[in-house]
């Protein structure tokens, strides 16, 4: 249910929506971070950023060539990244020591879904306490003490802990046991239809195999039993 506050008669709130007479539902953000202790085909992995980009003009006389450009993210600072939907950006977590049948390193791709950035200013207390919100991707080497992106006790903390503190060391993350952190957010400007009870809303991302298998793994599924689903087999 949306959080609400009263306003004066006739007042039109700038920072929210009137969802009932004199009742303001303030605009707000939902920001999530998921910690993924990756093990793609073995404990040691590397992360690449992939952008789909057009070929340079001199190698592209008809103007229609484009390709997937992979860039290794070798350290923690290099792996602080933002989405770029215009480039179809995704990140792939590869095992550099394993290959599929075509010789590509086995990998999974992290495909962002709906996303945005926090709208609080950089000096705001919420940004200091939850600096993880300012990047959509963080990658760290595995450490058993590093479980929560804003540290263990963010609510009353002056800030600066968690991901921003750990990644200051700029540790190497190439071909090692690593953790991928993905931030995703929705800016919620309430609407009449959110009152009095909101419909379900969803947000998320995808993890898909990327040259992890040698072909579509569904091709290896055994055929259905001969009479599967027929009336004579199940119901007569």
Residues interacting with Cu ion, by CB under 5 A?
A: 188
Nearer to Cu ion, 81 or 186 (CB): 186
Cβ distance to Cu ion smaller for residue 148 or 195: 195
Smallest separation (angstroms) from Cu ion to the CB of 100 = 42
Task: Provide the phi-psi class of 170: left if phi over 0, else alpha when psi is between -120 and 50, else beta.
Answer: left
* Of residues 7, 194, 178, 33, the one with CA closest to residue 115: 33
Q: Which residue is nearest to Cu ion (CB)?
A: 188
Min CB(4)–Cu ion separation in Å: 12
Q: Which of residues 31 and 110 has its CB atom nearest to Cu ion in the complex?
A: 31
Query: Residues, the chain, total?
Result: 236
Q: How far is the CB of 196 from Cu ion (least distance, A)?
A: 14
Instruction: For Cu ion, give the closer residue by CB, 8 or 197.
Output: 197
Q: How far is the CB of 58 from Cu ion (least distance, A)?
A: 49
Q: Measure the CA dihedral 98/100/104/109, to 10°.
A: -90
Distance CA 172, CA 187 (A): 34
Q: How far is the CB of 201 from Cu ion (least distance, A)?
A: 7
List the Cα angle 234/235/236 in 5-degree steps. 120
> Residue 100 — φ and ψ, nearest 5°?
-90, -170
Q: Which is nearer to Cu ion, 2 or 93 (CB)?
A: 2
């Amino acid at each position: 249910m949306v959080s609400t506050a009263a306003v004066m008669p006739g007042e039109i709130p700038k920072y929210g929506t009137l969802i009932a007479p004199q009742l303001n539902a303030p605009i707000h953000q939902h920001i999530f971070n998921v910690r993924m202790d990756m093990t793609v085909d073995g404990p040691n992995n590397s992360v690449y950023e992939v952008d789909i980009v057009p070929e340079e003009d001199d190698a592209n006389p008809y103007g229609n060539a484009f390709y997937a450009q992979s860039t290794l993210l070798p350290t923690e600072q290099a792996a602080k990244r933002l989405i770029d939907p215009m480039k179809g950006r995704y990140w792939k977590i590869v095992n550099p020591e394993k290959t599929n049948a075509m010789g590509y390193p086995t990998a999974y791709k992290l495909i962002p879904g709906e996303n945005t950035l926090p709208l609080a200013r950089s000096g705001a207390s919420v940004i200091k306490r939850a600096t993880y919100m300012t990047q959509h991707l963080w990658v760290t080497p595995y450490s058993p003490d590093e479980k929560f992106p804003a540290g263990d006790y963010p609510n009353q903390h002056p800030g600066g802990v968690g991901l921003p503190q750990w990644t200051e060391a700029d540790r190497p993350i190439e071909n090692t046991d690593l953790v991928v952190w993905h931030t995703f957010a929705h800016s919620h400007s309430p609407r009449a239809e959110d009152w009095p009870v909101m419909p379900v809303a969803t947000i998320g991302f995808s993890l898909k195999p990327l040259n992890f298998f040698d072909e579509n793994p569904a091709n290896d599924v055994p055929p259905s039993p001969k009479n599967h689903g027929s009336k004579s087999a199940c119901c007569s």
